[in-house]
Amino acid sequence: MAAPTLPDNPLTLLFIDDEANILSSLKRLFRPHGYQILTAEGGAAGLALLEQEPVDVVICDMRMPGMSGAEVLEQVRLKSPETARILLTGHADISSTIDAINRGEIYRYIAKPWNDEEILLTVRDALERKLLKAEKLRLEALTRRQNAELKELNASLEEKVQQRTEELRKTMGELSTAHEKLKKGFFTSIQVFANLMELREGSIAGHSRRVADLSRTLAKKLGLPPAEIQDVVVAALLHDIAKIGLPDRLLTKPFASLTSEERADYIKHPTKGAAALMALEQLASAARLIRTHHERCDGMGYPAGLRGDDIPFGARIIAVANDYDGLQSGRLISQSLSADAAVKMIIKGRGKHYDPLVVDAFVDLMGKPEEESYGPEIVLHPAELEPGMVLSRDFVSTDGLLLLARDYVLDQHLIEQLRHFEESEDRVLEVRVRPDKLGQKPALHPAPAP
């Protein structure tokens, strides 16, 4: 029966008895079990040892000259309350035993002559009880300390979050400080605030208002209730609010031409815009639409990669309106499409990028574009391209990035870029083109069936 132990701290037993043969018997019994053994022939000597070094268990005889076992154990309780106390009694004086229990608050008493197995188990149980109590106290102290650290960490984290969102909150300026007035002139205030985006130069001017107007029309056509229509319109007006903090170079470049570093900064704007508005109760629903208006039905959007019905329906409406305007202004790809070509691009994204129900309503609203008739499609290498040729299909990089859209008219500068791109990719590029509207029909490589 091995002794319970603590790391680097052997458990110590102190035997107190006025009979040397009793002390010798106890030492022989307990020493093989790995305990450190101390002995004292009397209460005073035992108490003196207790002051010199820590003791885990004291086993004391009841009847001794000078001090009784009850008196010794009472002193042990006062001097070292964490020490387990066991009374060894060799007579049937019940009143003395009760006195020892009351005064010394002993753990157990054992009658002489003892049973070896019983006394070994009693000591072991006393030690385990002591160690469990010590572990309980340690864990309670650890819990208190960790709770204090967690409280401090939470306070620090909250401070950091506040610091990082302070710049966005400043952009809310008048809107956040006029919260009470917003209840009375809610939509007028939103329109005024959205006008801040119109102060930016370039193709972005008027974008938010155009997206809001189209989103409103689509939402009505799809039968949304008035409260949800208002959320859609507000979100459409403010969907690019976080772009106020972006540099002009990111706003003037088409999304498809951004570098990976620029794109990493750019795609944060839905999350930042939503965070800036969430503090206002009236804008909580609109903020959710702003956060998710760049998600895609196939799960390839950002910031969360939501899919299908996990994307709020209002955000799916804004996505179509936003991209329709962006395709015409050149904000998405490196060319500005006509309204008809932009509708075709939206239709191509039906079920992948865009919600089919929203696309169908959009096409019904805009009218289905007419199919254009051209000559046969051909496949050319960049070295064979000539200015005036027209792309018959989207030109996409190996990682799926749209580089040039269908119907793009090639010029000499772009042809040179394609040739350099072929060299940098170290592979043969195939560009599918068709004769332009002037009837040019280069007789080169016929295109295989798609």
- Taking the C-alpha atoms of residue 342 and residue 338, their distance in angstroms, rounded to an integer, is 6
Asked whether the predicted pLDDT for residue 295 surpasses 90, the reply is: yes
Burial class of residue 434 (count of CB atoms within 10 Å of its CB; 0-12, 13-18, 19+): buried
Cα 297 to Cα 29, 148, 191, 349, distances in angstroms? 78, 45, 29, 10
The more confidently predicted of residues 17 and 434 is 17
Q: Where are the alpha helices (DSSP H) in 387-446?
A: 412-425
Contacts of 10 (CB under 8 A, 6+ apart): 34, 35, 36
Asked whether the predicted pLDDT for residue 304 surpasses 50, the reply is: yes
Contacts of 141 (CB under 8 A, 6+ apart): none
At 166 the pLDDT is: 73
- Structure token digits, residue 161: 């979050």
Dump pLDDT digits (tens) for 202-241.
Answer: 445 678 888 989 999 999 999 999 999 989 998 988 888 8
- Taking the C-alpha atoms of residue 164 and residue 162, their distance in angstroms, rounded to an integer, is 6
- Structure token digits, residue 412: 């000499």
At 445 the pLDDT is: 36
> What is the pLDDT of the chain when averaged over all its residues?
79
pTM: 0.46
At residue 447 the predicted structure's pLDDT band, cuts being 50, 70 and 90, is: very low
- Structure token digits, residue 251: 């706003």
- Taking the C-alpha atoms of residue 62 and residue 99, their distance in angstroms, rounded to an integer, is 11
- Taking the C-alpha atoms of residue 394 and residue 344, their distance in angstroms, rounded to an integer, is 12
- Taking the C-alpha atoms of residue 52 and residue 50, their distance in angstroms, rounded to an integer, is 5
- Structure token digits, residue 216: 């409103």
Phi-psi group of 133: left, alpha or beta (phi > 0 → left; psi -120 to 50 → alpha; rest → beta): alpha
The domains of the chain, with CATH numbers, are 12-137 (3.40.50.2300), 186-366 (1.10.3210.10), 378-446 (3.90.105)
Q: Phi/psi at 301 (nearest 5 deg)?
A: -90, -165
